[in-house]
Amino acid sequence: MSFELKTIELSRGRLSYHVGGTGTPVVYLHAAGGVMLTEPLKALTASHTVYAPICPGFDGTEGNDSLKTVQDWVAMVAEFAEKLVGPRFDVIGSSFGSWSALWLATEHPKMVDHLILGVPAGFRFDGKGGLPADPDARFKALYAHPHKIKSVPKSPDVMAANGKTYERLANNVQVDEALSARLPSIEAVTLILLGTEDKVVPAEAGAHLKRNIPTSQRAFIFDAAHSIEVDQPERTLRLWTDFLKRGPGYVLNQGPEAA
């Protein structure tokens, strides 16, 4: 099922978003590279209505100077969801999007039902991880299997604007201590996903989140670097759909009964 690109006017300004599919609503929060309509995201539209808001300044959209922090962006997402998505929905984040999703779950606990944190940024303990500056090294850090990339590459201008917007919101934070302190208050059932080849998000980040979010599980996706949705689309989709459908009970192998 295909996505449509739409816009909505909010109190903080205009917001563009992709939307597609039918079913239980899912808000997908994008990474620092902007929205990638990956294969699992497209497949998810078979059973869910997927909303992927674009943070102003990303993917060629007009910037919004009022957005100075991740929390500012999250406030905009909350308003977007209130107006368009509904009172309660599932959230999937990717990297920077997972950082945003965590703030959404702490600031608006009643909104978030299932929370899936893909390769979550915001917790680079001891400076570990992060994206290399060198373009080739950066590309290798993102993809273990670059031949699986199916989306059209973004232009250098768009990528530069994405990077600039991300840097403004992230504000060079290595570990978001304020967010870390609030992790125990998260009510959403949470799944943390990590790639076994991911050097951008260190394994310690996933362990920290698992240790501090009360109802949480984490899973390693084998043979995936930072872009788990690209490197292992089937595995990512399987975990997404199982967890969204069954929550913490997804750990039970139901065998043939599942059908």
Partner 1 sequence: MKFNFFHLMPYPDYDKLPHEWPVSTHGIDSTRIQALYNEYIDEMVDAENYGFDWVGCNEHHYSPYGLMSNPNLIAGALARQTSKAKIAIVGNLLPLLNPIRVAEEYAMIDVMSGGRLIAGFLRGIPHEYIAYNIPPSESRSRLREATELIIKAWTEDEPFGWEGEHYQFPAVSIWPKPIQKPHPRILMSASNAESAEFVAKMRAIMGITLIQDLKIAAGAVDYFKKTARSYGWEPTPDDILVGQQICIADTDEEAKHHMAAAQTYFHQTLMRPQRSAQQLVLGQSRYYTEADAGENFQTRLATLRGRTVEEQIEAGSIICGSPQSVIKQIKRLRQELDCGLLNLTIKVGNMPGSVVRRGMELFRDRVAPEVAGL
- Segment near partner 1 (CB under 8 A); pick from 3-11, 54-62, 151-159, 233-241: 233-241
30 near partner 1 (CB under 8 A): no
217 near partner 1 (CB under 8 A): yes
223 near partner 1 (CB under 8 A): yes
In angstroms, give the least distance from the CB of 171 to partner 1: 28
Give the pair of three-digit tokens for residue 89.
């929905």
220 near partner 1 (CB under 8 A): yes
In angstroms, give the least distance from the CB of 231 to partner 1: 12
In angstroms, give the least distance from the CB of 138 to partner 1: 19
123 near partner 1 (CB under 8 A): no
Among 29, 218, 225, 229, binds partner 1 (CB under 8 A): 218
Q: Enumerate the H helices of 145-232 as residue ranges.
A: 156-170, 177-182, 203-212, 228-231
Among 222, 245, 254, 258, binds partner 1 (CB under 8 A): 222
Closest CA to 106 of 183, 30, 208: 183
In angstroms, give the least distance from the CB of 178 to partner 1: 22
117 near partner 1 (CB under 8 A): no
The residue count for the chain: 259
Q: Enumerate the H helices of the chain as residue ranges.
A: 39-44, 70-80, 96-107, 135-142, 156-170, 177-182, 203-212, 228-231, 233-246
Q: Residue 60: what residue type?
A: G
The DSSP code for 197 is T
- Helical packing angle, 96-107 and 70-80, nearest 10°: 70
**Residues that contact partner 1, how many (by CB under 8 A):** 20
Contact residues for 128 (Cβ-Cβ < 8 A; gap 6+) = 202, 204
In angstroms, give the least distance from the CB of 240 to partner 1: 11
Helix (H), strand (E) at residue 194: strand 189-195
In angstroms, give the least distance from the CB of 124 to partner 1: 18
203 near partner 1 (CB under 8 A): yes
The position carrying tokens 């989140």 is 209
39 near partner 1 (CB under 8 A): no
| Whole-number Å distance between alpha carbons of 213 and 106 | 11
221 near partner 1 (CB under 8 A): yes
Q: Residues interacting with partner 1, by CB under 8 A?
A: 196, 203, 206-207, 210-211, 217-223, 232, 235, 238-239, 250-251, 253
